[in-house]
Amino acid sequence: MLLAVVTACPAQDSEPVTAKPPQRIKAPVCAWFQPPYLETKPDLYPNMTMVTSLTEPALAEQLAKRGVTALRWCYGPNSPWSEGKASYYAQQAAPFIKAGEFRFAGVGIDEWDTGNGHYPKEKDLAAAGFRTARRQWPDSIMVAYVTKPDEIFTELLKDHTLDLAIIEGYSFIPDVGGLTMEGIRQRCDVMKTAGLLDRTIVCLGYVSAAPDKQGRRLTIANLEQQMREIKKKYPEMPGIALYGFKDDTPETLELIRQADALTAELYPTSTNRGR
């Protein structure tokens, strides 16, 4: 379901936001995108510190009380609805859905580069809109998923419009396939060259026991190997993220539990250490 944010925005402004490094995100980050059954089976995710894909204020409020950074899902330049207006993206980045409702900690932008034909124009509009949003909501957290980081994207991190980049590193997609670790490293190396690894994490998954198109299955051993390789090669990264998959089987539910525990082992926080 597409969401329209009803809030007024200031004039467009594409100038850099600030040179002062704000501390809006507490590391380490153990994030999830679209974690299945979060509302009905929250015990699957005892070590989650951030969720980036929420659309329900009530659920976000419950998670916030638990100490989870609850981010509202919003469109990036892949949106077909901007009508050529940067103000659209500023509205997308509002930290609430309706005025007077629960205020999310910020937004999870989904996503930056999709390779669509209209993308070159939309990314300029999005950059201007997100900078406007940063000025209007200076304390709001803004993270963005990205496949192929470009100069405009890295500049949004350098001027602190965006707080965190999440590299889409899906090595396993049921019925489809996925990236190799080499492909994931190529994306991460762009952020390394830009000097932004300390504000970049990788999203692995999908976390599902279902087979892919070659009949292969993701195991906790696969995930652990990938996570440890990323942590070793990019020790500056402040955490990890996982992509969920709604596959209500005992095998997938157990894989989710194991994956959540693994994030805490590799990126322990004051609250999840020793669980």
pLDDT, residue 8, reads 37
Give the tens place of pLDDT for each residue, 146-202: 999 999 999 999 999 999 999 999 988 888 888 789 999 999 999 999 999 999 999
Q: Which residues of the chain have pLDDT under 70?
A: 1-21, 114-118, 270-275
pLDDT, residue 212, reads 83
Angstrom distance (rounded) from CA 254 to CA 83: 44
Length of the chain: 275
- In the chain, the domains with their CATH numbers are 29-266 (3.20.20.80)
Angstrom distance (rounded) from CA 39 to CA 56: 10
pLDDT, residue 101, reads 86
Q: What does the H/E/C string look like for 97-141?
A: CECCCCCCCEEEEECCCCCCCCHHHHHHHHHHHHHHHHHHCCCCE
The model carries a pTM of 0.90
